[in-house]
């Protein structure tokens, strides 16, 4: 069901210059990129998504934290999709 690609995301992670990025790929061919911020402490690793306010998670290890943030992003996007249900939606390209 390509109209709801956020239900079918796969994770790929890559560390670049000390910053970890995750890419979420839709099986429908689309691609979504999110930068995540990792904070390490004695209790483990917390991770947030600056581009998705309020979207954060944690884990005992970096791997667990990244797996958990994948689920948090999926849930965040599902709720965002429900909030615009019935609205006319457009995508906008922005050069940065």
Domains, the chain, with CATH or none? 2-83 (3.30.160)
Give the pLDDT of the chain (96 residues) as one tens digit per residue: 444 444 444 444 555 555 555 444 444 555 678 999 999 999 999 999 999 999 999 999 999 999 999 999 989 988 988 888 888 888 888 888
State how far the Cα of 46 lies from the Cα of 91, in Å rounded to an integer: 30
pTM (2 decimals)?
0.65
């Amino acid at each position: 069901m390509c109209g709801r690609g956020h239900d079918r995301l796969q994770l790929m992670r890559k560390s670049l210059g000390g910053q970890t990025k995750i890419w979420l790929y839709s099986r429908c061919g689309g691609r979504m990129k999110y930068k995540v911020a990792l904070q390490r402490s004695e209790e483990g690793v917390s991770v947030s998504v600056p581009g998705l306010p309020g979207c954060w998670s944690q884990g005992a290890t970096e791997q667990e934290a990244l797996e958990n943030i994948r689920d948090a992003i999926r849930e965040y996007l599902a709720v965002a999709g429900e909030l615009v249900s019935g609205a006319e939606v457009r995508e906008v390209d922005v050069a940065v």
